[in-house]
Every structure is written in structure tokens, then in C-alpha cells.
Amino acid sequence: TALFSSAANGFSMSSPSYIDKIALVLIRNRQQLVARSKGKNVFFTPGGKREPGESDEDALCRECKEELTVDLIRSTIRPYGVFSAQAFGKPEGTLVRMTCYTSDYSGTLTPSDEVEELEWIASTFSHDKLSLTGIMILEDLKGKGLID
């Protein structure tokens, strides 16, 4: 079952200028995991869009398997927070709403075919290399004392 409703907080799923995503906030040794897609110069929080009818948990597990080649341990998936901002690389006014979760996983984190690079970052990581939601998540983690 989904931990959050996709239409919560007044966001309309029918709006053409609204992108709804789920993401994994993974912390290790006081650093956050981010990924960079092939051909891109900006790092993102691992995750992606839900498939039609897919729960947040199912989408998160599928996206993490596709991008990070690991299996999330479903019993450890917990809500982290929701972040909204201008969508990276999209027309002005196109918003992304990223529903974030934490989770443990099994397997070895490895970039998949669609991911060029994985990196563990601290709060000092260049904001020029992150999307707006990525910056918001990084600042939230720092504010909560979860990363250096």
C-alpha cells in the first residue's frame, strides 16, 4: 500500500505543468547518495515517476533496482518528506513534487546502464551540480544534522 497519497496537499494530477516523482534519500557516513544520468551534468536523488496504478513503495523499489541495482527492504521504507520546486530542464512554471523516502537495501550499489555515476555528497557539494529539489533535500538533511 502507498504511504502517501499522490494527490495530497492540493496538487492536481491533471495539471500538465506538474511532475510527480518518488525518491530515495540514502545516508551513509553522514553523506547523501546522488546519481548522475548518462549525458547529464547534474546529479539527482535516485528515484523517478510512478507507473499507472503503481504504489509509492512499488515505484521506489522498481526505480532503485533500475538505477542503483539494489533491492530495497520493504519493511524499512519510511516517509522522509515532500519537496516541490521548478523542474530541472523543463519550461518555467513546470513544477516537480518529489515524495522522498528512506530505506535499507540489500545488494551492492552499482550504477545501472542509465546512470553514469553515483556519488556520496556532503552539504558543501556544489549547488550548481544539483537540481532545485536536490538542493532543498541537501539543505534539509544538513538542517536536521543528518549530513556534514
SS3 112: coil
CB count in 10 Å sphere of residue 63: 21
pLDDT (tens digit, 9 = 90+) per residue, 12-55?
444 457 889 999 999 999 999 999 999 899 999 999 999 999 99
**pTM score, two decimals?**
0.85
CATH number of the domain located at residue range(s) 8-140 in this protein: 3.90.79.10
Mean local confidence (pLDDT), 65-77? 97
3-state secondary structure of 12: coil
Mind listing the pLDDT tens digit for each residue in 53-70? Answer: 999 999 999 999 999 999
Amino acid at 97: R
The residues spanned by each domain of the chain are: 8-140
- The overall longest dimension of the chain from CA atoms, in Å, is 40
